[in-house]
Amino acid sequence: MAWAPVAIGLCALYLPTFLAFSRTIWETEEQAHGPLIVAVVIWLLWDKRQFFIDSAGDPRPGIGWLLLSIGLLGYVLGRSQSIPLLDIGSFIPVAFGILLAMKGWPGVRALWFPVLFFAFAIPLPGLIVDAATGPLKQTVSAVAESILYATGYPIARSGVILNVGQYQLLVADACSGLNSMFSLSALGLLYLYLMRYRSYLHIGLILLSILPIAFAANIVRVMILVLVTYHLGDEAGQGFIHGFAGMVLFIAALLMLFAFDGVLRMAFRQVRTA
């Protein structure tokens, strides 16, 4: 019951933010994963509640109140000045500040992952998105063109514009792969947390595979859209198949990650039994 006022206070602070985001930022394709991240964080916190309650108390009010003050200052600035990064991002220092002030480091060790996982609900700053999107689009376009040209298709590229047959396709920001990399990273980290692997090599190899898998899946997505447009026309390439291809390729990337993990488990099992 001692934590009930804390939970009520957090809800009073962040429910208005979540509601505002649900009508704005989370309605965009780039940030549609936000509500799912929040739901996962709530589930993880609930799942770890008993472990947290049973953890030894060793309050650190000094650093706890400092973090809490920084977080609340960020929240006030974010809400008053409409800065999403500070508005929703303030949850992390606020949560860690409360944990340290009331439970100390044992409390942080119990709930560190759910709190840090919340970072995936924070919109990336536009500066970072703009800096990453351009090079990614260029690389995706170049690789897709090279593969299709090598297989005999009449394709040429000018920057991020692909010309295939009579059609011209622009590789848009959504096709850069940044969103799928971000989402797959979140799911990959959640998967590793739930699997509880002890081998740092195993964990490291899976982490290193996330971005290449997401990037490769996005190249395949662009190639599929080019082929659909070439064989079935522009209307087919820009219609239902355009959105459907993104969803299917993301699921395929996730399955590739699981398959890679399966290969690693077999390899490590053979090493242990050798």
**pLDDT tens-digit series, residues 193-245:** 999 888 889 999 999 999 899 888 888 888 888 888 888 777 655 666 666 77
Q: Residue 180's closest CA among 92, 98, 257?
A: 257
Q: Residue 209's closest CA among 253, 252, 179?
A: 253
The predicted pLDDT at position 241 comes to 65
The predicted pLDDT at position 166 comes to 84
pLDDT digits (tens, 9 = 90+) for 145-165: 999 999 989 999 988 888 888
Task: For the chain, give every domain's residue range.
Answer: 4-121, 126-273
Of the candidate ranges 92-96, 103-107, 129-133, 186-190, the one whose mean pLDDT is the lowest: 129-133
Catalytic entry in 175, 196, 198, 272:
175
221 is catalytic: yes
Catalytic entry in 79, 157, 196, 221:
221
- Using alpha carbons, list the distances in angstroms from residue 3 to 7, 10, 195: 6, 11, 29
The predicted pLDDT at position 242 comes to 63
pLDDT digits (tens, 9 = 90+) for 117-142: 999 999 888 788 888 888 888 998 99
